[in-house]
Structure formats: C-alpha cells, structure tokens
Structure 1
Amino acid sequence: MNSIAPPIDLRALQVFVTVCETASMTEAARVLGISQSAISQCIKVLEREHGDVLFDRQMRPLRPNAAGRVLLDRARPLLAHARDVALSVRAATKASLSLLRIGCVDSFAATIGPALVEQLVGTAENLRMWSGLTPMVSEQLVNRELDLAVCTESTVDPERVTQQLLFSERFVAVVPLSHAGAPFVEVARSIPLIRYSRRQVTAQQVERFIRHIGIDAPAMYEFDATDPLLSLVASGRGCALTTPLCLLQARHHLPNVSLAPLPESPLAKRHFFLLRRNGEWEDIAKLLADCAIRTLRNEVEPTLRKVMPALPLELFN
C-alpha cells in the first residue's frame, strides 16, 4: 500500500531559501520580519523532516551543504508554484465579485430592494436582482443560479445552505371603508375574504392563521400580487389579510381601505430569511442583513405610519 507523503511546510521552506540567499539567519530574520529564534526553529523543522543537516555551520558566511543545495534547487520552483496558486485563487475570488445575483420575494424587492441596490453599488461590478415566489427563489439558490436569496419560508438542506432569520412582520387586516372599525373576524363572515394565490408561501401562512382564529371563508378570489387584492378591497368587494411590506408595495390603494383589529396570535406573522450556500458570501450577507433592518426602521415603517397611523405598534421584529 502506498504511504502518504508528509506535508511540506511552505513557511519553513521560504525561511530556508531566504537564509540561503542572504547567507545569514540574522539577515533572513530582518528580511522576513520575524525573530531569529523563529528562523532557527524553521530550519530545525526542515532538518528533522529530511533527516539531515542542511547547512555547513563551520563556514562563514552561512552556506548550504550538499543536501541543502538539493533542497534549494527543489524549493524555489515549489514556492513559485505556491505563489501562482495563491494568485489564481485571489483572481477567482475577485472575478466572483464581478457578478452578484440576489433573489427576493416580490414585496421585499419592491420596498427594501432599492435601498439594498444603493448599498451594494461598488461591491460587485455587475449586480442583478430578481424577484419571485419563495419556492422558485430558494431552488435557484441551491442550483447556483443565485448567490443570495431572501425568502419568507425555507426547507433547504442545512448542510448545504445557511439560513438566517432577517426579521418578522405581522399580518394586518384590510377592509372597505364601509366596514371601518369592525373586528376582522366579523367582517370576514359578512363579505368575501380575498386571498393570495395558494401557490404562495404567504397564502399558506395566512390560511393557518385564519383557521386558528376561527374563520372558515370559502375561496372566491385569489391573486399572486397585492395590487389587485387591495383594489378589490378598496372597491368594497371583500376584505383581506396582508402584511406591512405588501401594503407599502401597493400604497396607492391605502387611502381607500381601512384597518381592522385582529386577535393576537403567534401565527399572525410571516418571517423573512436570508439564504446563502455554506461558506460563501458571508460578508455580503451581513451587509445585506444590516441594510434590510436599517431600511425597515428608518424608511419603511415611518412611511407606512404616515399613510396609515392606525397600524399596530409592533409591525416588525
């Protein structure tokens, strides 16, 4: 059976070559910016690994002996190759930063996305941001079609993907102006409940919540987007459950709808997660997370409260 070759200590090898080139351990220490004792230790490591002394210590200036000359001949191309490898890796890392691909659910892209783009300008030469439904965006991340993804729920493999909770937002109930002030549970029993399309994760979360609070409304209208949903509420055709980011996304309808009280429940919220493949994009992910929270507090929430002062106190956490 073949034995495994012992690892080569490139640092010790660089020290050895520098000692040979300067003909002095003292001068080699100065050139490399380390102590003379560290130089001596590296030489001892090499001599122990190779089973022979490498310098003729009776001569001044210091010169490699026969074994040392053989090692010197082999060491120079090996160190040059190691430098080439390091340069290639750095070049590949730099090239990867030339393109950054981010996928987000629609409401995040429409409300926080612009601030995020402004924050990331200069981080990558080419920044691309796509929006879509959570299942599509998370699948694209796993398939390496995206570098980072912001989803409202995820069941990705934790051994491949890091999942970080960004923030949570509570559900809010919107009703026609004609039903202003009435509890949502009562309104949903008197007029149609307009829903998000059930292929959306948000719709699935809403369904769990309405069952929890005792609403059993037949399915009549379903939409992928918030704009037609709020349009129907504004026209008096029904009521709906949505979220603060979705309200901001379709803010032009807000003067024509009213908020309705909701029962307190741990299910009355949706969560946003930041996904990245393990070991990749850690610094950019932190930048994105910080920007998202800052934008929520400083821009999104103040804008919403200005338009709808009756919003609940804790919209995000």
Structure 2
Amino acid sequence: MRRTPSPIDLRALQAFVAVCENGSMTGAARQLGVSQSAISQSIAALERDQNLTLFDRESRPPRPNAAGRALLELAGPLIEHAQMVGNRIGDASRTGKMPVRLGCVDSFAATVGPELIRAVSNSERQISMWSGLTPGLGKQLHDRELDIAICTQTTLNDARIVEVPLFSEAFVVVVARSHLQGRHELDWRTLAAELPLIRYTARSVIGQQIERFALHLGISSPRRYEFDATDPLLSLVAARAGFAISTPLCLWQARHYLDEIAVMPLPPGRLGRRDFFLLHRQGEWDPFVQDIVALTRSVLEKSIQPSLARALPGLPDDALG
C-alpha cells in the first residue's frame, strides 16, 4: 500500500527548482548560497517524503522525469505564494493590520479611486490598489493575488466568490459640440448615418458590450478607429472624426474633453447599461467591503453625478446610479 506523501517542504522545493534551472547540484548550490551537500540532502528528503523519484539519474546532467516535470510546473506558483504570504505578514507586522489588495477597472480607479484612497488613508486600514481589465482582475482574485476586485462583468465560476452589485451606468452617444451647432432635433439615428462609429477595442469588456448594443440598435459602421482608452477616443470625437458610444464614468475619467463634447441618450434596456460589481471571497473582508460600497455610492451621488450634470446637460437623469 502506497503511503500518503508528506506536505512539501518549501526549502526542498526551492532546491529542486534550482537544480532543474541550473542543470546541476553545484549550480543550484551556488544560486542559493548553500553547500552542494545541502542541496543533495534536500532533494533526497523531497523524494523520500513524496515517495517518488524526481530525476532520471542515468542522464548527464540529471533531468527531471515525468513526476519531476509535473512538480516543476507546479512549483513556481507555490514558491511565489509562499513569498507573498511572507511579505504580507511583514506588512501586517509593521502596520498592525493586514493590507487590503484592491483591483479596479481603469474607469473606476481613475474616478472613484482617489476618493477611496483618501478616505482609507484617514483610517487604520492599509490599502494597495491596482487597475486593469475585468478578465485579468477576475483571474487575480481567483489566484489570491487580490483580496477585492471591482469589475464590470462577472464570469468566475467559483461558489466561494461573493458578487456585490455596486451601481450601473447607461451607454450614451458622444459627439463634438461643434457638430451640433445650428442644428435642432438631431437624434442618434441621424448621427449614426452621418458619422463613423469610433470604438473601444474588442479585447475590452466595454468594447464588446458596446458592439452588442450597437448591433442591437442597427448601427452599422466600418471598423476604422479603435482605442483601449477613452482619452484618444474623445480626441477624435472632439475633432469631428466620428461619434462614439461611452459611459458617464468613462467621460468623467477623461473630463478635460467635456467642454468639447455633447451627449445624447440611447434607448433604455439591459443591453444599454454597464453594471459594476464588487467581488470578494466569502467570509473575508466583509466589514471593509461594506465600507467600500457605502463610500462608492456616496462619491457617485455627492460628487461625480452633480459635476457631470453641470458639464453635460444632455445626460439622462438615470445615466449613473
């Protein structure tokens, strides 16, 4: 009967990876700053504990066999996670509390993010913030590289992840103000017949969502201009190169263009809105999550919504909330 393997010793695992990378125990010893004998003993202990042979010792230099290759593939994430745990424990020791790692989509990080950082900096809680695309943030949360993620789409098939609705915003047409001068009762259908659609790239979630909505509305336009960010998109809109479909939060992120653009509503419906969610692991960070939800809604209601309403009179009342 084969005995159950013992838990893997991380130092022995580091020695194993070093031997694989260097092709010899001598090179591994030099890399880790230990004796060759220590490396040899670590490898022997690892094989004994796992009841496996990890190297083909008939080859010169010794190469990992099938079991060794499988372990090598899994070793990197294990070692990185152990280092991350050590770093976080050190951070907690210095500050008295575990820092929260928060990942946000770019439009949230650039608008609500500063207020969030300002509020948290006045408390005992420490926070680290990253921005990125929704798919990457979801993976980072799943891999425990983040504690909390704020995304615009939930695709994680993980019962341990809690999804908290934050808010939603409507897609709106964006056009240069100069294009509207002297014209009355111009609607989005007329605009779509006159100008090409300037798009967000299809590799972004917002780009995919807008493309589905545009097709639903019957907006057909050649793919001539596509951007990852709102700034270059609005620069072309302001230059009357075309019109765009965007959201209030994205417009506020690039608010230095607000004097040059105008907005028009689009037909309401589920396809016409973008939802934001806060994701976290069940039973983890619950009080802090509620703080983020309350603060986010306060920033939207008291700061961003009134400012957008003043700058863009054509924005629907329910465009953000």
Please report the TM-score for the alignment, with normalisation by the length of structure 1. 0.68
Contact 1:233 1:240 in 2 (8 A): yes
Contact 1:182 1:260 in 2 (8 A): no
2:204 alignment partner in structure 1 = 200
| 1:191 partner amino acid | L
Mapped to 1, the partners of 2:235 and 2:261 lie a distance apart of 9
The gaps in structure 2 that reach 5 residues or longer are: 1-88
Matches within 5 A, 1:214-225: 214-225=218-229
Mapped to 1, the partners of 2:303 and 2:207 lie a distance apart of 26
Percent of residue pairs identical: 45
Matches within 5 A, 1:1-317: 97-123=97-123, 126-180=126-180, 181-317=185-321
SS at match of 1:211: helix
Per-residue deviation, 1:94: 6.3
Contact 1:97 1:123 in 2 (8 A): no
Deviations 1:54-85 (A, max 9, x none): xxxxxxxxxxxxxxxxxxxxxxxxxxxxxxxx
Deviations 1:114-149 (A, max 9, x none): 111122225555421111111111111111111100
| 1:305 partner amino acid | A
SS at match of 2:270: coil
Please report the TM-score for the alignment, with normalisation by the length of structure 2. 0.67
Contact 1:179 1:187 in 2 (8 A): no
Q: 1:125 to 1:295 in 2, by over 3 A?
A: closer
Give me the CA root mean square deviation.
Answer: 2.0
**Highest Rg: 1 or 2?**
1
Mapped to 2, the partners of 1:200 and 1:152 lie a distance apart of 11
| 1:216 partner amino acid | S
The gaps in structure 1 that reach 5 residues or longer are: 1-90
SS at match of 1:267: helix
SS at match of 1:162: strand
Contact 1:97 1:125 in 2 (8 A): yes
| 2:214 partner amino acid | I
2:14 alignment partner in structure 1 = none
| Number of residue pairs matched by the alignment | 227
Contact 2:198 2:233 in 1 (8 A): yes
SS at match of 2:150: strand
Mapped to 2, the partners of 1:140 and 1:202 lie a distance apart of 19
Contact 2:170 2:274 in 1 (8 A): yes
